[in-house]
A = this chain, B = another copy of it.
């Protein structure tokens, strides 16, 4: 392995691939011509039912590369043998990348990111993406562990904004947030118990806003990597907001 320009380019391309699986989700993705598809993967053992025939037909119509695998080979691609139903699809999302790459690129620059900790509801994830994109957030840190992953439900709930939003993947959130803090970013956990409020935050430093699970808030492991805690002031003794609402208030706050 080498960091040659060619390697980096290839690496960036593979980072941009999002693999979805299951017959219905793959069919729906193929039917949406706005989705940039890279490759369709099929298990050789698939019985040709109506869904599979339609999937093959759409792949042919859209001139999409098809790879055939034995069950084991397909599981390696879907990473979910139990639920892939013998079908996987690589989407090539232009703004889908890794947190590590962004960490290298962002040195010395100003940015505002959202980091998601334990956001398990796909509807909320899609709404967060939509609001963050419209509000001008520079990217969303999405860990593989503990969060809903991008699937057709999330794509739908994002109303097309997923392809315009920089999604930065990582395995776990805490170590990545620590790296951001070491590079001088302010890492702010949203917490209803915080003393400081969002409105008083000085906006000159690059900032990562950490949004936690709606019921349990930011996890203690992740909170340890945060440098600040802030809250959104609420009236009428309301205790919490929907996490997508919180994401929107953060993303749009410069506009008011």
A159 to B240 Cα, complex, angstroms: 9
Give chain B nearest CB distance to A53 CB in angstroms.
32
Given contacts A161-B236, A248-B248, contact A242 B198 (CB under 8 A): no
* Oligomeric state, in copies: 2
Given contacts A164-B238, A238-B133, contact A233 B255 (CB under 8 A): yes
Given contacts A127-B245, A242-B244, A249-B249, contact A135 B235 (CB under 8 A): yes
> When the two chains form their complex, are residues A234 and B134 in contact, meaning their CB atoms are under 8 A apart?
yes
> When the two chains form their complex, are residues A130 and B256 in contact, meaning their CB atoms are under 8 A apart?
no
Q: Is A253 an interface residue (CB 8 A)?
A: yes
Give chain B nearest CB distance to A249 CB in angstroms.
6
> When the two chains form their complex, are residues B130 and A236 in contact, meaning their CB atoms are under 8 A apart?
no
A127 to B130 Cα, complex, angstroms: 16
* Complex interface: chain B residues within 8 A of A165 (CB): 236
> Which A residues between 224 and 245 are near B, CB-CB below 8 angstroms?
232-238, 240-242, 244-245
Q: Which of A235, A236, A238 has the most CB of B within 10 A?
A: A238
Q: Is A131 an interface residue (CB 8 A)?
A: yes
* Complex interface: chain B residues within 8 A of A134 (CB): 234-236, 238, 241
> When the two chains form their complex, are residues B131 and A164 in contact, meaning their CB atoms are under 8 A apart?
no
Q: Pick the contact of A244 from B136, B245, B253 — CB < 8 Å? A: B245
Q: Is A252 an interface residue (CB 8 A)?
A: yes
Q: Is A108 an interface residue (CB 8 A)?
A: no
Q: Pick the contact of A245 from B164, B199, B236, B245 — CB < 8 Å? A: B245
Q: List 14 A-B contacts (CB under 8 A).
A: A127-B245, A130-B238, A131-B241, A134-B234, A134-B238, A134-B241, A135-B234, A159-B240, A161-B238, A197-B255, A198-B255, A233-B255, A244-B245, A249-B249
